[in-house]
Amino acid sequence: MGYLKAIILLSDGKSLCPYIENFKCTIYEMRPTVCKAYPLSTNIDNIVYYDINCPGISEIGSEVIKNGEISPSFDSYIFDDYQTRYINTHKKLEEFNKIVDFELVTTINNNKFYKYIGKEINPYITMHLDSLKHLKKYNI
């Protein structure tokens, strides 16, 4: 769409998460917040959605959200005012030059993914660089 968007990549988009072995998470205690909140996910409209394809949703689906409230066992700060945090991240990313500060890493489903190669370090860039560590198993 012509702008940069912060994304945490855990897989190559074609395979399961590389940290799943024997149907168990091998980084469970260190997993990213997005994994802790799964099967719930945030959206720019501040609505929390859940993945109906999650293998466990049939077992817990009715317990994830009740009366419009997220179950305390799934609640996370990532659901708090997500829209404002998303917009602030977008504004920060607009400060960068996509051609000079980033290089193409991979393309998944016609979406281009970049890694930061510039000099500035801030919480957004640190989070971005940390997310790239998850793709090392794919040699990306």
Q: Is residue 1 a part of any domain in this protein? A: no
Question: Is 138's pLDDT higher than 60?
Answer: no
Convert the pLDDT of each residue in 76-106 to its tens digit: 777 778 888 888 888 887 887 777 888 888 7
Mean pLDDT of 35-53: 77
What band does 62 get if pLDDT is binned at 50, 70 and 90? Answer: low
Q: Give the model's pLDDT for residue 66.
A: 66
Torsion of CA 56, 138, 3, 124, to 10 degrees: 80
Q: Is residue 108 part of a domain?
A: yes
How many domains does the chain divide into? 1
Say how far apart CA 106 and CA 12 lie, in whole Å.
9
Segment 36-63 mean pLDDT: 71
Q: Decide if 10 is inside a domain.
A: no
Residues 6+ apart with CB under 8 A from 95: none
Residue 60 lies in a domain: yes
Average of per-residue pLDDT values in the chain: 74
Give the model's pLDDT for residue 103: 86
CA distances in angstroms from 110 to 13, 61, 102, listed in the order given: 11, 32, 18
DSSP-assigned beta bridge partners for residue 116? 102
Report how far apart, in Å, the C-alpha atoms of 37 and of each of 34, 42, 108, 125 are. Answer: 5, 9, 23, 22
Contact 50, 39 (CB under 8 A): yes
Q: Give a yes or no: residue 92 inside a domain.
A: yes
CA distances from 104 to 43, 48, 115, 123 (A): 25, 30, 7, 21
Residue 41 is assigned to a structural domain of this protein: yes
Has residue 2 been placed in a domain? Answer: no
Give me the domain span that covers residue 111: 20-138
pLDDT, mean of residues 43-63: 68
Residue 11 placed within a domain: no
β-strand 40-41 against 49-50: which pairing, if any? antiparallel
